[in-house]
Structure 1
């Protein structure tokens, strides 16, 4: 596999993921990809985890071809995903959550869009099965705001399951403003914020890239990293920052 061009790169950000690794999510990812006819790689990007996450991931990598670990300083999920996307070598580059709320096998629904000429494909969670009511209310309110402020034509911008042609990855992720700024400072906690996905998709729109949105399977995993008031406020601030950066011409081609 190392001698042939890589077709699919999978970027998995990781912060304090000991439980998910121990319950076998990486084995599941490996089993799925090993059965595919194309070449692939998996980049596990550790976000400076203070626990055994990186060590466990490296132990896994030693016995599983196609996987590698990137140890990054703690700067939040946005900066971690950026680092992984820019390090990926695949013709198609996907980022997906470690908890596999959207199983990796759902990539089968995204890949045909690239054959049809799309530059990027985003997963869309229909109904958010199992999510608490507060998460659904937050999602609805944020959808209204992002439509008004950024005019992004998507049903679900926040699903952590998105893929892009490798050729356009540097143009998108190299233009990130909010999260490249944050990557230069150490983050607090998991630092999961809504603005990351908004900035990615807004830049793709400014670049006139052809994007598709595809319904994918998604199951709530009971994360404790979402704080309704704090994260809603941060998401609103990020949304406004994207608009301010756009007015200032920071996303210009």
Structure 2
């Protein structure tokens, strides 16, 4: 499990999260995309075994929150029927030699199913949600000494028992750094797979530094046992969507 998280962290921490994208806010989404369809949780590799938490903890709350804001959920069963029919009709989905699935063609079929479902069921947008590993940033600035922040959450970059006084001047040569943080995300997409709005809420760091300057990785199962933190993270994600600048602003 530790190797999985190290791999995920290396990939995701290298990604740039500074790109500014103009997303719609909740008011604009409700006005222009009121009929939505939500899918089974979209999970990153290594997090699939935790989809039960999303379905039992997040899904009911997400649906209730969005319905209270005026959105109407369309059941996804018909979409899956369409998707299954398209997959069965596809003769070149798997490589005849290696048996590996053609991911490009698989994604094309998914998008085709979205477009057909939209036309048939009058759906305005599709909602994905799940857990995501995000970049938490910290610095040795005196105002927030080694406090990592990401997606509205903050947590000490130092593990329990490691005080900032012990590391000043010796712990880090660099003045800032990054760690992997776990978040809940909610993403609105159109039928072509374009993201029209996005929100993420931090849950907890997945790693911290110890006295030996080593990164100590947490047990994700333990992190996800705190359902209160998960619910608060979902609220942060929805609040971020509420506060998006919106179109033309």
Indicate whether the TM-score tops 0.5: no
> TM-score, normalised to structure 2's length?
0.30
> TM-score, normalised to structure 1's length?
0.29
